[in-house]
């Protein structure tokens, strides 16, 4: 089954304790992205990756890191989490079309993070 998986689904942590949220897709998509969802703000893009070893900042990258060492995986790293990073996080992936445009974005199930 074609899907985007995220782990963990729920995480409660404390300020300053490094954490990683994993994201994996089995559709051989070139493009992957991380979003955070907060009430009244919709989804805001954190980072995205156009292919292996190619990443770029989205609209809210501060406090986050990403890496793309393999095509299928795109982990989100919080080196020193703070309470304002408490949010619902989504990973997404998409195929790049022959014309260089992006096809439908498929989203993972989400990771609810609480930073105390």
Partner 1 sequence: GENVEQHPSTLSVQEGDSAVIKCTYSDSASNYFPWYKQELGKGPQLIIDIRSNVGEKKDQRIAVTLNKTAKHFSLHITETQPEDSAVYFCAARALGSYKLIFGSGTRLLVRP
Copy the structure tokens of residue 80.
Answer: 């020193």
Among 61, 73, 102, 114, binds partner 1 (CB under 8 A): 102
Among 1, 97, 98, 101, binds partner 1 (CB under 8 A): 101
Q: Which one of the spans 18-26, 53-61, 64-72, 75-83 is the region binding partner 1 (CB under 8 A)? A: 53-61
52 is a contact residue toward partner 1 (CB under 8 A): no
Name the pairing type of β-strands 54-57 and 42-51: antiparallel
Given a contact cutoff of 8 angstroms between Cβ atoms, the answer to whether 79 and 16 are in contact is no
CB of 34 to partner 1, least distance (A): 12
Write phi, then psi, for 83 (nearest 5 degrees): -55, -30
CB of 14 to partner 1, least distance (A): 25
Cβ-based neighbours of 100, under 8 Å, separated by 6 or more? none
5 is a contact residue toward partner 1 (CB under 8 A): no
């Amino acid at each position: 089954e074609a899907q985007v998986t995220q782990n963990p689904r729920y995480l409660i942590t404390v300020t300053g304790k490094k954490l990683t949220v994993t994201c994996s897709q089995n559709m051989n998509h070139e493009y992957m992205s991380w979003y955070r969802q907060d009430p009244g703000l919709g989804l805001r893009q954190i980072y995205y990756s156009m292919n292996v070893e190619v990443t770029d900042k989205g609209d809210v990258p501060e406090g986050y890191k990403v890496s793309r060492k393999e095509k299928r995986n795109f982990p989100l790293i919080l080196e020193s989490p703070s309470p304002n990073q408490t949010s619902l996080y989504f990973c997404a992936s998409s195929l790049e079309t022959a014309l260089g445009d992006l096809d439908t974005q498929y989203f993972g199930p989400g990771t609810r993070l609480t930073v105390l």
